[in-house]
Amino acid sequence: MPTLFEEVKIGNLELKNRVVMAPMGFAHTDPDGGYSERQIEYYVERARGGFGLIYPTATMVTTEFEPAPMPNVLENYSQATRLAILCEKVHHYGAKVCSQLSLGLGRVSFIDPYTAPKSASEVPSFFFPNLMCTPYTKEEIKFLVEKFGNAARLAKNAGVDAIEIHAYGGYLIDQFLTPLWNKRTDEYGGSLENRLRIVYELRDAVWNNCGKDFPLLIKLTPDHKIEGGRTLEEGIEMLKALDDAGFAAFHLDLGTYECWYNAVTTVYQEEGVQLYLAEAAKKAGIKTPLFVQGKLGDPVLAEKVVSTGLAELIGLGHPSLTDPHWPAKVQQGRFEDIVPCIGCNECIYTNLMNQRFACAVNPRMGMERDYNLSPANEKLSVLVVGAGPGGITAAITAAERGFEVELWEKSNRLGGTLVAAGVPKFKEAVAKYVEYLRTQLYKRNVKVRLNKTATTEEILKKNPDAVIIAGGAKPIIPQIPGREKMHVVEATQMLLQGDCPGEKIVVLGGGLVGCEAALHLENLGKKVTIVEKLDDILQTVKHATNNDQALRHLLSESNITIHTGALLSAIDTGKVTIEKDGQKTDLPCDTLIIAIGYHADKSLAQSLKGKIDKVFTIGDNLRPAKVIDAVHEGFHTARLLEELTT
């Protein structure tokens, strides 16, 4: 029976195990698109952590037609030399490197609203639908194929162990493969055989430059999950056509930009969301080994996929960001020490906002060399107030550095508002992260005091060298006429309780907390209505596009009624009154859930000012924040504690 941690041969590619760091964009390149030192150290850390195969980010083979390329480019010897350094360092740990080569983004490129992208056909640009793409000429296609072969040769000479064709997800090659975007009438359009022509030409270009025995994989999307896109049945026919085409493995993917949450999964999807692709492929008799991905961070699930023969390789994308040592910890049986991905996609959001590529729960991701922890110069006593993600991270980090740490939490539980956030069934990943934090806190022997309210007097009595305040924010509760006539509860408290009285529920506030609370209550069988004063829900939420798509998709499939541009003006027994466009409407209501935001409480920090040398406020205590803010601030406050001044 196959196992995760056994040597495996895929074509001529020999791997020490079946665990792969899946390809993901990492935009911190050198100015010419070559691999930077920061990128190299990022990949080396995953090799150090035990991954058998490492994928650097998708790499363009030319910038001739897309001046705003994917993160990396491979078209000259200087770029290849830096790739060689990456390969050498990764090989030191027994891992292999697969270079995923791409012809580009095509219709999903985002140069500007005025420059038409080039694609297989004259189809609308994704980001600017009024901008029609310019079709590639046959001469330009020939040029692209030649550049692909050249990049493959450079990659092989640099020491990569395999090449993968980037033919998935609605990117340029996939645009040639798909009738929705390929309207050509020449030999590259029409029949499946013609649409696959570019794949065969790219394969032959690799073989001509690297030899027919060099491992060549291809990443494909058997199911686009969009109207007019490839169906699973069509996808299986495509796999059958390529099954004897000489590929070492099929790397399977799901979705496209129109439903990005399927391709880059979120907290809202179930584990193993893409496995049905492999099941369909195996059932259809596909002989080529399969490489699967999509929320496979649970070691038990990953092992089951391999042991049952569903797939030969397991790809971990986001789990390799949250914990680069996932393979080593699994192999050692240390499941409780794995930092779980919470599906927030801050990694995507920070990239889209032109910020540092960052992970909410791993502050060192992408900064492996910069953010190492050093032992404390002197053993300061550190008091952390509040056991949310920021406070626990600060306590863990301070303890790891050798400080004497005590953590006070006013409630009887650890985790802060993340406990509430992890209550809905679709937020199980958050609950797992809370459990991880609790485990690590106790493993660090931090002195924890629950049901301990931090007052100025109590803190001064303890007299610590440093205080880190992470007590969270307070909910905003509006004064609505008639409030005493109905059961009114704040959303976080409702989630902590798990339910609320009555069957007809109105949620005031269509932000992230309000929408998730509404979905949770509907899952309990309630009839739920959301009332939002802005013109649309989720307008104040700063999160990744794919998370926004996924949450809106859940809401669209629910029976939740949503009133936008509406104000809740009055409460009465059994009903609330809303006003919209000058009209008043009564809504039946047994319980009103308040989810209109939070405000920071800085009073404790202000009361300690000048009385204790080092007092720092983080997370929601500073301003209403996200998990990434709290965790990173907790980590860096403890990491730099001696250097920081109040």
Q: Residues 278, 310: contact at Cβ < 8 Å? A: yes
Q: Residues 589, 504: contact at Cβ < 8 Å? A: yes
pLDDT classification of 19: cutoffs 50, 70, 90: very high
Instruction: Calculate ∠ Cα 597-599-600, nearest 5°.
Output: 145
Q: Which two tokens stand for residue 534?
A: 């802005």
The per-residue pLDDT for 140 is 98
Q: Which two tokens stand for residue 323?
A: 């914990």
Q: Where in the chain is the domain with CATH 3.20.20.70?
A: 8-332
The per-residue pLDDT for 518 is 98
Q: Could you report the per-residue pLDDT of 336-378, keeping only the tens digit for each?
A: 999 999 999 999 999 888 889 999 999 999 999 999 999 998 8
Please say if the pLDDT value at position 571 is more than 80: yes
pLDDT classification of 646: cutoffs 50, 70, 90: confident
Q: What is the DSSP string of 216-235?
A: EEEEEEEE--STTS--HHHH
Q: What is the CATH number of domain 483-598?
A: 3.50.50.60
Please say if the pLDDT value at position 322 is more than 70: yes
Give percent above pLDDT 90 in the chain: 91
Q: Could you report the per-residue pLDDT of 407-417, keeping only the tens digit for each?
A: 999 999 999 99
CA 339/CA 430 separation, integer angstroms: 11
Please say if the pLDDT value at position 68 is more than 80: no
Q: Where in the chain is the domain with CATH 3.50.50.60?
A: 483-598
275-283 vs 232-242: helix crossing angle, rounded to 10: 60
The per-residue pLDDT for 620 is 80
Q: How many CB atoms lie within 10 A of CB 632?
A: 24
Q: What is the CATH number of domain 381-473+600-639?
A: 3.40.50.720
The per-residue pLDDT for 645 is 87
The per-residue pLDDT for 602 is 87
Per 3-state DSSP, the chain is made up of helix, strand and coil in percentages (nearest 5) of 35, 20, 45
Q: For domain 8-332, which architecture applies?
A: Alpha-Beta Barrel (3.20)
Q: Which of 35, 43, 136, 171 is catalytic?
A: 171
Active-site residue flag, 442: no
The per-residue pLDDT for 515 is 98
CA 64/CA 176 separation, integer angstroms: 18
Q: How many CB atoms lie within 10 A of CB 484?
A: 7
What letter represents residue 627's amino acid? Answer: V
Residue bearing the bigger pLDDT, 473 or 287: 287
The per-residue pLDDT for 260 is 92
Q: Where in the chain is the domain with CATH 3.40.50.720?
A: 381-473+600-639
pLDDT classification of 621: cutoffs 50, 70, 90: confident
Q: Could you report the per-residue pLDDT of 289-302, keeping only the tens digit for each?
A: 999 999 999 999 99
Q: How many CB atoms lie within 10 A of CB 588?
A: 14
Q: Residues 456, 471: contact at Cβ < 8 Å? A: no
